[in-house]
Structure formats: structure tokens, C-alpha cells
């Protein structure tokens, strides 16, 4: 049986351990597709999974990597044929099914989206789950009536994968984007991506009354916790918050006042199981009118499978920025 190198995560009586090892290449059964992986990326969830610091995996051992892009090698699914360029994000990847940190990926064909024209697999993974989620957040905001006239949009966790891409898309759509970032050294980079202003995490205006002066038209929040609560108190009437992440905590202490007196919308964003038509449409938009102006400017690092543990530690310590690509050695 042919073997492949994968980044495997174990959790058993000996504790948590993860690293590169050889496993057999799985053959697709009915409904499944075997993809030759060209590129993958590092997302916050990958770092939680790979270090064991977050309980985000259901089945052990498992191959890590919540996203991948590549070319179909074998297909037992009616929608895909050998040679198709595809993107896999979310669903059971690196949760209860082997993920994309591998040479090949065998997944249900229903989990795949076509790689849109204009993106090669590497470019698709510069966007990856982070870019797809940023696109989902923008979609949710626009559907809920967000427009530049409501006021500036705040993007928290701005230097991260989701944050940096959200800044770029929103600036393209003529929003005034205010980035929240603690990374002074990246202010020029965030400005080049489209931020008109950058503020530190402890510089968010407003006190702790249920409603404070409205300063933001909307927000894309990657941080959660106290920062999200603060944003609910300072949003303009009818503004929306796309809630994506938990880098700063999972608790949310607020009141109903912003919702019932200012009509603000708290829009949950779950990139994991977006149904097919919307999934394909978001990828198409990310390759066309929402395409970041300079994809390579989003990349801060590139590693092979052996380089993953060090990157995971740096990411959880808040020492990474932008997108980190995972390419074959
Ligand atoms: N809902 C979904 O489907 C979905 C999909 C993808 C990601 N996510 C979540 O979205 C968040 C961002 O993901 P990502 O891949 O962009 O991660 P990332 O690249 O690590 O970015 C996270 C950013 O958050 C900021 N941050 C880190 N620790 C913080 C803290 N303790 N308090 C406040 N800010 C902090 C940092 O930005 P600054 O240094 O610039 O402040 C960091 O760059 C994560 O929580 C992730 O789990 C959710």
C-alpha cells in the first residue's frame, strides 16, 4: 500500500503529541474524492489542534490541517473528475476526518469547492479558511444592510489571517476601515492593506454603561470576550458585528440594550459547513471583485510539514501575522 507523509496528531494515555509520520494513502469509496494536495495554510484552529491547547479534535489519531487546495486524482463523486482544481475547507477536516497537512486528501466530494478561475492552488491557500471566513463575514454584513454611510468598520485581530483579509476586502468596497492591532511594527502593512486608522487593543473608546457614544458603523470581530462586549455598546444604530473569533476569550457580557434600542445585529459567522451554492459563490467573489489587491503581500511565512509545530506556538503567542502557507518540502 502506498504511503505518504502527513502531520499526525495523537492524544492517548501518553498525552498529546504531533509530528510528521508516514501513513497509508486512503482510496476513495463512493461519494469520495482523492485530492493531490498542492498547498495548505495555518489557521488559529490548526494551532489549537496541533498543540493540544484547544479541544477542537473529535477523533484521534488524526491528520491536521483544516484546509487544502489541490488537484483531483481519483473521484467516486459525480461532480468531480481527475484534473479538477479544488479547495477543501472546514467540514470534518482535522475534526473527525483526516485534514490537509498531507500529500493527499481523501474527503467526501460534497466538502469541495471548485478553485475559481484566476486562482492557482497556492493563491487559493493564501486566502484559505481565513480568507473564506473574511468573505463570509463581509457577505453577512452586506446582506444585513451594512453600508459605508453607517460609519467606519472596526476590524479586531487586524494583523491575523482573517483580520488582514477582511481589511482588504472592506477597503475595496469603500468602507472606512479602522484596525485594532497591538502590533506597532505592522502599522504600515495594515495601512497598505486598506486600514485608514489603527488603534491599540486598550484604546477602544467607551466605558461600561450598556450604551456608550456610538462611534462605529459596524465591526468584524476576531477576538470576542471583553472587546466584543465593548463594541456592542459603541455601535451606531442599525450597525452590524460579524462575530468570528475567540482569540481574546469566549465569554460575552453585555445587555440587550444595544439590540433593542439601537437595532444592532450580531451576526454569527461559521465557515465550517457553508452550503455549496454560497461556498462556491464566496470563492468566486474572492477571485474577482473581492480579490485582495496583492495576494503575496498577505503572506508572512511559508513552511513545510516539519515547520508546523514552531509556527503553531508562535501563532498562539500572538507572534504571527497575515497568512502562513504550508507547501510540500
Ligand atoms: N467562525 C469561524 O468559522 C472561524 C474561521 C476562521 C477563524 N476563526 C477564528 O477567528 C480568529 C482569528 O483567526 P486567524 O486564523 O485570523 O488567527 P490569527 O492569524 O492568529 O489572528 C488572530 C489575531 O487576533 C489578535 N489576538 C491574538 N490574541 C489576542 C488576545 N488575547 N486578545 C486580543 N487580540 C488577540 C492578534 O491580532 P493583533 O496582534 O493585530 O491585535 C492576532 O493576530 C480565531 O479566534 C479563530 O479561531 C473562526
Q: Which atom of ligand 1 is nearest to the CA of 159?
A: 40
Query: How far apart (Å, rounded) are the C-alpha atoms in residues 10 and 166?
Result: 33
Which residue among 160, 248, 324 is best mutated to probe the pocket of ligand 1, counting the most ligand atoms within 8 A of its Cβ? 160
Mean pLDDT of 160-183: 98
CATH label of the domain that carries residue 46: 3.90.180.10
Q: Residue 320 CA: which ligand 1 atom is closest?
A: 43
pLDDT on residue 1: 63
For ligand 1, the distance from its centroid to the CA atom of residue 34, given in whole angstroms, is 31
Q: Give the angle 269-102-81 at the CA atoms, nearest 5°.
A: 80
Domain boundary among 268, 288, 304: 268
Tell me how far apart the alpha carbons of residues 217 and 153 are, in angstroms, rounded to a whole number.
6
Pair (137, 178) in one structural domain? yes
Query: How many degrees, rounded to 5, is the angle at CA 95 between CA 89 and CA 101?
Result: 60
Query: pLDDT of 294-305, one tens digit each?
Result: 999 999 999 999
Ligand 1 atom 41, closest CA:
181
Looking up residue 138, the CATH number of its domain turns out to be: 3.40.50.720
Ligand 1 atom closest to Cα of 186?
Answer: 40
Average pLDDT over residues 219-230: 97
**Residue 319, in any domain of the structure:** yes
Q: Is 276 part of a structural domain of the chain?
A: no
Ligand 1, pocket-test mutation among 157, 200, 279, 314, most atoms within 8 A of CB: 157
Is 75 part of a structural domain of the chain?
yes
- Say whether both 223 and 163 belong to one domain: yes
Range of the domain at 228: 131-268
Q: What spatial distance separates the first Cα and last Cα of the chain, rounded to whole Å?
A: 22
Query: Which atom of ligand 1 is nearest the CA belonging to 130?
Result: 6
Per-residue pLDDT band at 242 (split at 50, 70, 90) = very high
Could you tell me if residue 288 is inside a domain?
no
Q: Report how many domains make up the chain.
A: 2
**If you take atom 43 of ligand 1, which residue's CA is the nearest one?**
160
Is 126 inside any structural domain? no
Nearest partner of 133 among 272, 281, 295, 275, judged by Cα: 272
Atom of ligand 1 nearest to the CA of 183: 39
24-75 pLDDT, tens digit per residue, is 999 999 999 999 999 999 999 999 999 999 999 999 999 999 999 999 999 9
Whole-Å CA distances, 234 to 96, 182, 200, 228: 39, 20, 16, 10
- Whether residue 313 sits in one domain with residue 247: no
Shared domain check, 178 and 246: yes
Ligand 1 pocket (Cβ < 6 Å) reads 43-45, 129-130, 133, 157-163, 181-183, 201, 222-223, 244-248, 269-272, 315, 318, 320-321
Segment 220-238 mean pLDDT: 97
Neighbours of 17 (CB within 10 A): 12
At 250-263, the pLDDT tens digits run: 999 999 999 999 99
% of the chain beyond a pLDDT of 90: 97
Mean of the pLDDT values across residues 297-316? 98
Q: Report, as an integer, the average pLDDT of 113-117.
A: 97
> What's the mean pLDDT in 256-277?
97
Tell me: do 195 and 159 sit in the same domain: yes
Co-location of 264 and 154 in the same domain:
yes
Which of 249, 268, 287 corresponds to the end of one domain?
268
Same domain for 19 and 71, yes or no, is yes
Same domain assignment for residues 111 and 147:
no
- Give the distance (Å) from ligand 1 centre to CA of residue 57: 19
What are the beta bridge partners of residue 70? 37, 86
User: In the listed set 268, 286, 304, which residue is the last one of a domain according to the structure?
Assistant: 268
For residues 141 and 240, is the Cβ–Cβ distance under 8 A?
yes
With residue 105 as reference, give the H or E element that holds it: strand 104-108
What is the average pLDDT score of the chain? 97
Q: Of 95-104, 155-164, 204-213, 294-303, which range is least confident?
A: 204-213
CA distance 321 to 315: 8
**Residues 152 and 262 occupy one common structural domain:** yes
Distance in Å, CA 165 to ligand 1 centroid: 12
Q: How far apart are CA 47 and CA 157, in angstroms?
A: 16
The pLDDT, as a whole number, for residue 328 is 83
Residue with the larger pLDDT of the pair 208 and 156: 156
86 with 143, same domain: the answer is: no
User: Residue 329: pLDDT above 90?
Assistant: no
For 69-103, what is each residue's pLDDT tens digit? 999 999 999 999 999 999 999 999 999 999 999 99
* Same domain assignment for residues 82 and 24: yes
**What is the spatial distance between Cα 187 and Cα 223, in angstroms, rounded to a whole number?**
19
Contact yes or no for 42/312 (Cβ under 8 A)? yes
**Long-range contacts at 117-122 (CB < 8 A, ≥ 24 apart):** 117/287, 118/287, 118/288, 118/291, 119/283, 119/286, 119/287, 120/38, 120/85, 121/38, 121/39, 121/69, 121/70, 121/71, 121/85, 122/38, 122/39, 122/69, 122/325, 122/327
Tell me, yes or no, whether 174 lies in a domain: yes
CA 114, CA 85: separation in Å to the nearest integer? 6
pLDDT at position 206 = 86
Residue 11 lies in a domain: yes
Closest-CA residue, ligand 1 atom 36, reads: 157
Q: What percent of the chain has pLDDT over 70?
A: 100
Domain assignment of residue 16, yes or no: yes
Domain identity same for 230 and 307: no
For the beta carbon of residue 174, count every other beta carbon within 10 angstroms.
Answer: 9
Amino acid at each position: 500500500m502506498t504511503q505518504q507523509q502527513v502531520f499526525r496528531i495523537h492524544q492517548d494515555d501518553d498525552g498529546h503529541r504531533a509530528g510528521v509520520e508516514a501513513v497509508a494513502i486512503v482510496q476513495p469509496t463512493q461519494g469520495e474524492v482523492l485530492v493531490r494536495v498542492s498547498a495548505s495554510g495555518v489557521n488559529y484552529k490548526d494551532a489549537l489542534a496541533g498543540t493540544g491547547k484547544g479541544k477542537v479534535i473529535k477523533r484521534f489519531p488524526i491528520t491536521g490541517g483544516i484546509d487544502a487546495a489541490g488537484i483531483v486524482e481519483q473521484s467516486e463523486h459525480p461532480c468531480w473528475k481527475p484534473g479538477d482544481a479544488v479547495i477543501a475547507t472546514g467540514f470534518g477536516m482535522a475534526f473527525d476526518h483526516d485534514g490537509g497537512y498531507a500529500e493527499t486528501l481523501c474527503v467526501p466530494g460534497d466538502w469541495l469547492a471548485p478553485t475559481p478561475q484566476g486562482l492557482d492552488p497556492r493563491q487559493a491557500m493564501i486566502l484559505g479558511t481565513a480568507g473564506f471566513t473574511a468573505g463570509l463575514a463581509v457577505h453577512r454584513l452586506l446582506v444585513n444592510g451594512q453600508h459605508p454611510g453607517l460609519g467606519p468598520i472596526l476590524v479586531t485581530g487586524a494583523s491575523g489571517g482573517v483580520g488582514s483579509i477582511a481589511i482588504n476586502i472592506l477597503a475595496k468596497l469603500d468602507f472606512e476601515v479602522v484596525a485594532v492591532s497591538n502590533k506597532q511594527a505592522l502599522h504600515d502593512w495594515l495601512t497598505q492593506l486598506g486600514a485608514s486608522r489603527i488603534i491599540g487593543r486598550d484604546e477602544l473608546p467607551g466605558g461600561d454603561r450598556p450604551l456608550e457614544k456610538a462611534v462605529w458603523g459596524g465591526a468584524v470581530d476576531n477576538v470576542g470576550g471583553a472587546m466584543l462586549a465593548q463594541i456592542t455598546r459603541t455601535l451606531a444604530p442599525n450597525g452590524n458585528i460579524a462575530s468570528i473569533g475567540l482569540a481574546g476569550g469566549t465569554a460575552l457580557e453585555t445587555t440587550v440594550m444595544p439590540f433593542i434600542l439601537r437595532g444592532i445585529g450580531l451576526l454569527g459567522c461559521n465557515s465550517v459547513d457553508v452550503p455549496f451554492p454560497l461556498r462556491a459563490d464566496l470563492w468566486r467573489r474572492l477571485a474577482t471583485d473581492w480579490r485582495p489587491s496583492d495576494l503575496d503581500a498577505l503572506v508572512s511565512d511559508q513552511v513545510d510539514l516539519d515547520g508546523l509545530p514552531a509556527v503553531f506556538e508562535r501563532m498562539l503567542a500572538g507572534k504571527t501575522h497575515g497568512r502562513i502557507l504550508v507547501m510540500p518540502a
